[in-house]
Structure 1
Amino acid sequence: MATVRKTITITDQQDKWIKAQIAAGEFTNDSEYLRHLVRQDQSKNTKYSSLKTAITKGLESGISDSTIPDIMKKVEDRMKADGGL
């Protein structure tokens, strides 16, 4: 995978934080820590997009005629089929 060199500016407090993470053995250098943060942000945004899509789909599906017990039964059946119960 190709890499791109970036120059960033951070505060002294942020620099101390990064150095503390490295000193604690969490990361080996500044770049590794920053790549970790980017991966976390990418993951969070992927999850957010999936959730947003699911919410939109739910809202667009309209009001259900199912009762709460019907819904609970469907969930229980699905969980049993998926091995969750």
Structure 2
Amino acid sequence: MAMVKKSITVTDQQEQWMQAQLATGNYASDSELLRDLIRKEQTRAAEIEAIRIKLIEAEQSGFVEKSPSEMLASFREEARNNGKL
């Protein structure tokens, strides 16, 4: 995988938060932390899109007997099975 070098500017508060994350030992560098945050956001965005599509489908299909939490669990499971998460 090719890497592209970026230069970013963060606020003092964001820098303090990043340094606190690095201090936990979970990340070796700022770059590793930011890549992890991007991956998590990509996953979250994919999950939201899958849920949005399912909600549209549900609205178009009429009433269901499942509770909202059961529907959400079902949507997430289907998205994982389809490789969208």
TM-score by length of 1: 0.70
Question: Could you tell me which residue of structure 1 aligns to residue 16 of structure 2?
Answer: 16
Question: Could you tell me which residue of structure 2 aligns to residue 51 of structure 1?
Answer: 51
TM-score by length of 2: 0.70
Gapped regions of structure 2 (runs ≥ 5): 67-85
Gapped regions of structure 1 (runs ≥ 5): 72-85
**Structure number with larger C-alpha Rg:** 1
Cα distance in structure 1, aligned partners of 2:55 and 2:13:
39
How many matched pairs? Answer: 66
The structure whose RCO (Cα within 8 Å, separation 6+) is larger is 2
Question: Cα gap change, 1:15/1:63 in structure 2, threshold over 3 Å: closer, same or farther?
Answer: closer
Work out whether 1:32 is the aligned partner of 2:32.
yes
Deviations 1:18-72 (A, max 9, x none): 11111110100000000011011000000001100110001111346xxx5xx7x
What secondary structure sits across from 2:18 in the alignment?
A: helix
Q: Percent of aligned pairs with the same residue? A: 38
Cα distance in structure 1, aligned partners of 2:28 and 2:46:
27
Query: Which range moved further: 13-22 or 52-61?
Result: 13-22
Question: Cα gap change, 1:61/1:25 in structure 2, threshold over 3 Å: closer, same or farther?
Answer: same
What secondary structure sits across from 2:4 in the alignment?
A: coil
